[in-house]
């Protein structure tokens, strides 16, 4: 995914790694080693605000055949940084599987393949591969996630390593706090905090995040607000 200059350096990381397909679940950017149950679907939506940029994402995802979770997302981004406001549309295809499912007080390992592209360019987008490793502690009260991957940016035709680590803290049956750090080679790192509340347990969730760049003198705050709908 490539934003119109001069925003590419700031938002490629914030948005490419934050797409709402099948991550550790909103509000996290770092992925987990888990997929939806067979026959189950979910819809993740969120709005993002960062300086002069606003993004709106919606991504349905379903478990297909029991071993793969497939997602297709879409978004539009409004950039008002220049003299004229610009609107760009994006799409994202993603396939996710797990080699070892994450179990309570155990660990899990998965694989995520994705293609993110700008409207009008077909499937000619940014390709990525990510390996999530997750650990459950204290009966799922604490979940730790670690990511390592590789991304191909079509705009510059180069490959970059990606990484991330995060934690989910279950406060009670309805509330979860998250903290994470993630980055991309040659593009720095970001940290992010989030909170999620289950309005209807296992069916409807509202969440929010706040994050910024992990560098002195380069705050670049990003805020998101999202909803997650999940089928039976």
Give the pLDDT confidence of 124-153 residue by residue, as tens digits.
689 999 999 999 999 999 999 999 999 998
d(CA 18, CA 22): 10
Cα 69 from chain centroid (whole Å):
15
Class of domain 8-230: mainly beta
Quick: pLDDT tens for 28-40: 999 999 999 999 9
Find tokens 């929010």 and name the residue: 208
Per-residue pLDDT of the chain (232 residues; tens, 9 = 90+): 333 334 443 444 344 444 433 356 789 999 999 999 999 999 999 999 998 899 999 999 999 989 999 999 999 999 887 777 889 899 999 999 999 999 999 999 999 999 999 887 655 689 999 999 999 999 999 999 999 999 998 888 899 999 999 999 999 999 999 999 999 998 889 999 999 999 999 999 999 999 999 876 667 899 999 999 999 7
d(CA 74, CA 82): 24
Contact assessment for residue 74 and residue 61, using Cβ atoms and an 8 Å cutoff? no
DSSP state of 81: S
- Domain edges within the chain: 8-230
The pTM of this model reads 0.87
């Amino acid at each position: 995914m490539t934003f119109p200059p001069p925003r590419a350096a700031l938002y490629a990381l914030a948005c490419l790694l934050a797409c709402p397909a099948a991550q550790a679940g909103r509000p996290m950017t770092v992925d987990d080693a888990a997929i939806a149950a067979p026959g189950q679907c979910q819809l993740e939506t969120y709005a993002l605000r960062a300086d002069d940029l606003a993004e709106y994402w919606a991504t349905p995802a379903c478990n297909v055949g029991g071993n793969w979770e497939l997602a297709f997302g879409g978004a539009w981004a409004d950039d008002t940084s220049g003299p004229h406001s610009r609107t760009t549309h994006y799409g994202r295809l993603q396939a996710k599987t797990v080699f070892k499912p994450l179990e309570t007080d155990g660990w899990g390992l998965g694989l995520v393949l994705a293609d993110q592209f700008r409207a009008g360019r077909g499937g000619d987008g940014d390709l990525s591969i990510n390996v999530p490793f997750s650990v459950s502690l204290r009966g799922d009260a604490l979940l730790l996630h670690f990511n390592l991957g590789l991304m191909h940016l079509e705009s510059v035709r180069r490959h970059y390593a990606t990484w991330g680590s995060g934690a989910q803290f279950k406060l009670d049956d309805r509330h979860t706090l998250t903290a994470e750090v993630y980055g991309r080679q040659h593009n720095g790192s970001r940290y992010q905090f989030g909170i999620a509340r289950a309005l209807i347990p296992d069916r409807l969730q509202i969440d929010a995040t706040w994050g910024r760049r992990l560098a002195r003198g380069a705050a670049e705050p990003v805020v998101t607000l999202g909803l997650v709908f999940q089928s039976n």
